[in-house]
């Protein structure tokens, strides 16, 4: 019967986590689970509570302001407690988590890189729209209508958009399943604070605050364009 052993490390220090071990395994061969840190190693998080306190209330229409700030750029999640909890439960690393808004604001894409000891590495992506709520100027509404999966953990393995030119039969199946599982009513995100290169919004179903910051010079991922699959 496998047992869980605390062991998890970060560069520059150590954190306790859980690794699975079976009787008879040598100490040096215990497989390690990814450590819980949603921000990539080269991206510095920022103090979320202080940022919200300093910037909350600075805009009368924070949702629209966040969309204007995000156009033509890619943002990376640096803090998201619910994602970090999911990593521990699923023994899977989810990082980076990227959000891209097209130059004209018409297309919003979300991509997350996963790494799992059994299923390997890859990217899970979705695209659609992100707009200000008509009834609440402080809330963003996301509506995904295309979903796809890319194998491999490198940036070059990620298709930043699902255009008809690159879509395949597997994408059609994943999109169909994604649309069945997507609940638009749960995809409303109140904007707590926004600045030129940082923002914090809330995921109400889990009372989790998501902090993001703009990626500079993010290459082929930044400003991802391309027509998304039409809703059927």
Q: Of the given ranges (6-15, 130-139, 149-158, 166-175), which has the lowest mean pLDDT?
A: 6-15
Tens-digit pLDDT profile for residues 85-130: 999 999 999 999 999 999 999 999 999 999 999 999 999 999 999 9
The number of beta carbons lying within 10 Å of the beta carbon of residue 85 is 13
CB 10 within 8 A of CB 17: no
pLDDT in tens, 15-68: 434 334 333 333 444 344 444 457 787 788 889 999 999 988 778 889 999 999
Ramachandran quadrant class, 218 (left: phi over 0; alpha: psi -120 to 50; beta: rest): alpha
Kindly tell me if the per-residue pLDDT of 7 is higher than 50.
Answer: no
Token reading at 126: 């979705």
Burial status of residue 107 (CB atoms within 10 A of its CB: 0-12, 13-18, 19 or more) = buried
The predicted pLDDT at position 12 comes to: 38
* Extents of the domains making up the chain: 1-33, 48-215
φ/ψ of residue 14, rounded to 5: -130, 140
> What is the predicted pLDDT for the residue at 107?
94
pLDDT attached to residue 217: 61
Let me know if domain 48-215 sits in CATH 2.40.128.
yes
Q: Give pLDDT tens digits for 177-230.
A: 999 999 988 899 999 999 989 999 999 989 999 999 999 764 333 333 222 222
User: Is it the case that residue 141 has pLDDT exceeding 90?
Assistant: yes
For residues 140 and 42, which has the higher predicted lDDT (pLDDT)?
140
**Dist. CA 4–CA 104, nearest whole Å:** 49
């Amino acid at each position: 019967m496998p047992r869980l052993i605390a062991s998890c490390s970060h560069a520059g220090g150590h954190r306790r986590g859980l690794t699975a071990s079976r009787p008879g395994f040598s100490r040096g061969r215990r497989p390690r689970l990814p450590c819980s840190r949603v921000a990539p190693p080269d991206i510095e998080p920022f103090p979320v509570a202080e940022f919200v306190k300093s910037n909350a209330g600075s805009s009368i229409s924070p949702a629209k302001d966040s969309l204007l700030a995000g156009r033509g750029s890619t943002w990376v999640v640096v803090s998201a407690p619910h994602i970090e909890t999911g990593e521990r439960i699923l023994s899977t690393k989810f990082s980076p988590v990227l959000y891209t808004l097209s130059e004209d604001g018409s297309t919003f894409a979300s991509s997350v890189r996963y790494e799992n000891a059994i299923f390997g590495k890859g990217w899970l992506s979705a695209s659609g729209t992100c707009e200000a709520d008509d009834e609440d100027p402080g809330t963003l509404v996301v509506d995904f209508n295309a979903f796809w999966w890319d194998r491999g953990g490198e940036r070059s393995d990620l298709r930043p958009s699902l255009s008809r030119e690159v879509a395949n039969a597997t994408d059609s199946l994943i999109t169909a399943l994604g649309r069945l599982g997507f609940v638009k009513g749960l995809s409303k995100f109140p904007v707590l604070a926004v600045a030129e290169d940082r923002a914090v919004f809330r995921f109400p179903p889990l009372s989790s605050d998501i902090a993001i910051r703009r990626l500079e010079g993010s290459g082929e991922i930044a400003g991802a364009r391309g027509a998304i699959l039409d809703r059927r």
